[in-house]
Amino acid sequence: MELKRILGPVLAAVLVVGIGAAVMVSHKRSAKAEAEQAALAAVIEVKGMIGSEKESFFTDPQVIEMLLKKGIRVKAEKVGSREISSRDLTGYDFGFPAGLPAAISLQKKSKAKQTYPTFFTPMAVASWKQLLPVLEGEGIVKKSNDAYYIIDMKRLLELSEKGARWRDLKNNTAYATGKSILISSTDVRKSNSAAMYLSLASYVVNGNNVVDNNEDAAKIMPFLSSLFLRQGLQESSSSGSFEDYTTMGLGKAPLVMIYESQFLEYQSKRAQPNDDMVLLYPQPTIYTKHIVVPFTPNGQRLGELLSSDADLQKLAAQYGYRTATPEFFTNFLKEKKLQAPSALVDVIDPPSFEILERMIASIEEKFKQ
């Protein structure tokens, strides 16, 4: 009886404490759930058009999670970079093309007061180890510090313009085919990577000078037009031409103008890099800048994050992009055991937006004939 009198209050106290603890846990869980719901409700959807080469970046779970923590969910639609400015921008918050000329065109149309450079990548030519002895023997390609450079871009372009074939090259037993020597590109009317190829070729053909007037442009347009007209059917976005390179191989795509980032991303995601694939850096080359053009305050918020957030910049480097912090890129190369020049010194600027557009329009007219 005495024991019951003692245990009764003790058990009651334990029960009260237990109930109190349960209430506290339940309250904490409820508060946490409410906080999560509030955070989710605070997330804004930002809709935009992006160049196809950036699709994998925006679908990366780490990128998605990082942006969600910042209150943003991106809904991205793939569009050829040069095509974006020709679209109806209604209902979109931003455009994210590749290339400064495409960004300028989009900024003019959208009347955006500010743009946001995020990361950049040089143009390069994807090729194959099998072709290196032939190209080196012709004095077109040379290896330096574990990278291959196109040291005579003019000769390579001249071979293309003249309709030379691979079997015409001296001592060519590796690829003695009747296929024309061409640098394959995307459609210059729709894609930035082709516009950058045009910019680079125009510089080389114009005596290593940026084309800065209509008279000089008119003189070299027959040569430049042939580089694109001889190719036949062309993809409208850079992902298509690069996919031809990786899936169809040497027979379909011996030389392809691509973004360095595409090549590095592809190799980094393989269990073992494909040693048969090589990247050739033109001398000179040209950078492609990836620039966010905001149409709304939400688009501006995304642009600010992509251009300034260190964690997002590090993730961009994991896709082969170069950023304002070079260590991100060099650390990526070391981690993935890949080779690429840490810096490129022979880099040119594209022609003015107006000159480039006139050259593209001239090629477009040739396609119609």
pLDDT tens column, 18-66 = 565 555 555 556 655 554 454 555 899 999 999 989 999 999 999 999 9
Amino acid at 76: A
In the chain, pLDDT over 90 holds for what percent of residues? 76
pLDDT of residue 47: 98
In the chain, pLDDT over 70 holds for what percent of residues? 89
Give per-residue pLDDT as tens, 297-350: 999 999 999 999 999 999 999 999 999 999 999 999 999 999 999 889 999 999
pLDDT of residue 36: 45
pLDDT of residue 24: 58
3-state helix, strand, coil in the chain (%, to 5): 50, 20, 30
Q: Calculate mean pLDDT across residues 346-358.
A: 94
Give per-residue pLDDT as tens, 135-165: 999 999 999 999 999 999 999 999 999 999 9
Question: Closest by alpha carbon to 185, among 125, 251, 113, 96?
Answer: 125
pLDDT of residue 31: 56
Tell me the DSSP string of 162-203. Answer: TT-BGGGSTT--SS--S-B---B---TTT-HHHHHHHHHHHH
pLDDT of residue 109: 95
Q: Calculate mean pLDDT across residues 237-245.
A: 85
pLDDT of residue 27: 58
Q: Calculate mean pLDDT across residues 83-109.
A: 94
- For the chain, the first-to-last Cα distance in angstroms comes to 110
- Bigger pLDDT: 14 or 98? 98
- Bigger pLDDT: 36 or 278? 278
pLDDT of residue 10: 52
CB atoms within 10 A of CB 352: 15
Residue 75 phi/psi, 5-degree rounding, is: -110, 105
